Amino acid sequence: MTRTKIVFVGAGSVVFTQGLLADLFAFPQLQQAHIALHDIDAERLATARGAARLIAAERGAAPRISTHTDRREALTGADFVINIIQVGMREATRTDFEVPARYGLRQTIGDTLGIGGIFRALRTFPVLKALGEDIAEICPNAWLLNYTNPMAMNVGYLTRATGLTRVVGLCHSVYWTMQGLAELVGVPYEEVDYRAAGVNHQAWVLRFEHNGTDLYPKLDALIAEDAELRRRVRVDMYRRLGYYPTETSEHSSEYVPWYLGHDSEITRLRLPVGAYLGIVDENMAAYEETRRALTAGEPVPVESTMEYAPQIIHSIVTGTPRTVYGNVPNHGLIDNLPADGVVEVPCLVDALGVQPTRVGALPAQCAALNRAYLSMNDLVVRAALEDDPRHIRHAAMADPATAAALPVERIWDLCDDMARAHGDLLQPALRATLGN
């Protein structure tokens, strides 16, 4: 029997791995797949294997489950590769927050733009390059489904550094945004028709309808009568820009210069500075609880996550057509964004693979913010591709929230301190300190 082979790179992200496996095994056609789990941490890998076996048994699935500390071994014969690595783990994430905080720079999540996003990308790129080169050599027809943030920078780097074309970045922000909006206006999600496009964590709901009727006026009325709704960054952005952004207020506040630099706005919009550090601690606690439960032989409750990767795999394997949202190189998909930028657009998926949909032009005000986002992304990718540490500083200077908070000399000093703090996680040329 030929089994579909699905490789998890970074399978030690056990909680996320569990959710994806629960979704995969919900499809009868994937219940006998070969699940290859790869991680460089043997303890986490063993925990992931135990969780995978338990989920398979609970779902009545009979997959082949293999574990590998050798990535190339795991990739042999792969049809799909799901990337969920986090380079540097909790310690590096703390660095991303604590060093900028000493400069008075506020961040909430720090995984997409800003100083946190820049250095998360730069420490991830060397691993992505090695992974991409391995895929190109060992399983060139495999689809690489990336979940690792910063999404747009990682997909952009992968495609430019390795030449891989079957790369799609996946994020649940559009799906959960529309779930939340549907609940807010009192229409079942299944009955809502919508279309969104832009960049990851800063896409825009371009259409929001029910039975052909625009739902935006209903949303406007709810916002007008509810002062607490108006205390959300994404609602504030929607009121001013005319299109609802597809990421949480915590995320959205970091991508523009208007909020985190002002105490009054942090209070008005209830922004949790440093929130991601708490999320990291919660994830670690969830991992430890999973490990403890498996060791004790106790059940590990796992809920389906409705993530896109299992849906994509099922559609390609079975030919079942679906529409998902994917992050891919622009290449004419959005007219008024850079051609080599990574954009988030609807994608048709069937037996032929993931096929992005052309959107046309975004509203001018939305495209203006997206272009700033992509310009910063481009500089970070160029820093790695060209071994040019000056581009790291250029990216930080171009980042809206960083530029709003710090004078240029302090931006360069901060980049020096971050390069020192992350040290060997960066490619050698990018460890340089440049001073002012």
The predicted pLDDT at position 209 comes to 97
Q: How far is 337 from 400, CA to CA, in rounded Å?
A: 17
For residues 303 and 297, the answer to whether their CB atoms sit within 8 Å is no
Q: How far is 298 from 294, CA to CA, in rounded Å?
A: 6
Domain-embedded: residue 308:
no
- C-alpha distance across the termini of the chain, in Å: 63
Domain-embedded: residue 262:
no
Domain-embedded: residue 371:
no
For residues 158 and 382, the answer to whether their CB atoms sit within 8 Å is no
The predicted pLDDT at position 1 comes to 58
Q: How far is 100 from 115, CA to CA, in rounded Å?
A: 7
Supply 49's token pair: 């294997």
Out of 34, 38, 68, 172, the active site residue is: 172
Domain-embedded: residue 222:
no
The predicted pLDDT at position 401 comes to 95
228 Cβ neighbours under 8 A, 6+ residues apart: none
Strand segments, DSSP code E, in 69-120 are 80-83
Domain-embedded: residue 97:
no
Pairing assessment for the beta strands 244-245 and 202-210 based on DSSP bridges: antiparallel
Domain-embedded: residue 144:
yes
Domain-embedded: residue 55:
yes
Strand segments, DSSP code E, in 211-276 are 213-214, 244-245
The predicted pLDDT at position 339 comes to 94
For 35, 338, 385, the CA distances from 206, given in Å and listed in that order, are 38, 19, 34
- DSSP category for residue 301: -
State yes or no: is 172 an active-site residue.
yes
Q: What is the pTM of this model?
A: 0.95
Cβ-based burial of 1 (10 A; exposed 0-12, middle 13-18, buried ≥19)? exposed
The predicted pLDDT at position 291 comes to 79
Range of the domain at 136: 5-92+110-169
CATH number of the domain within which 77 lies: 3.40.50.720
Residue owning tokens 């609802």: 244
Domain-embedded: residue 327:
no
Supply 380's token pair: 């970070």
Q: What total of structural domains would you count in the chain?
A: 1
pLDDT tens for the chain, residues 1 to 436 = 578 999 999 988 877 888 899 999 999 999 999 999 999 999 889 989 998 998 999 889 999 999 999 999 999 999 999 999 999 888 999 999 999 999 999 999 999 999 999 999 999 999 999 999 999 999 999 999 999 999 999 999 999 999 899 999 999 999 999 999 999 999 999 999 999 999 999 999 999 999 999 999 999 999 999 999 999 999 999 999 999 999 989 999 999 999 999 999 999 999 988 878 888 888 788 878 887 877 877 777 777 788 999 999 999 999 999 999 999 999 999 999 999 999 999 999 999 999 999 999 999 999 999 999 999 999 999 999 999 999 999 999 999 999 999 999 999 999 999 999 999 999 999 999 887 6
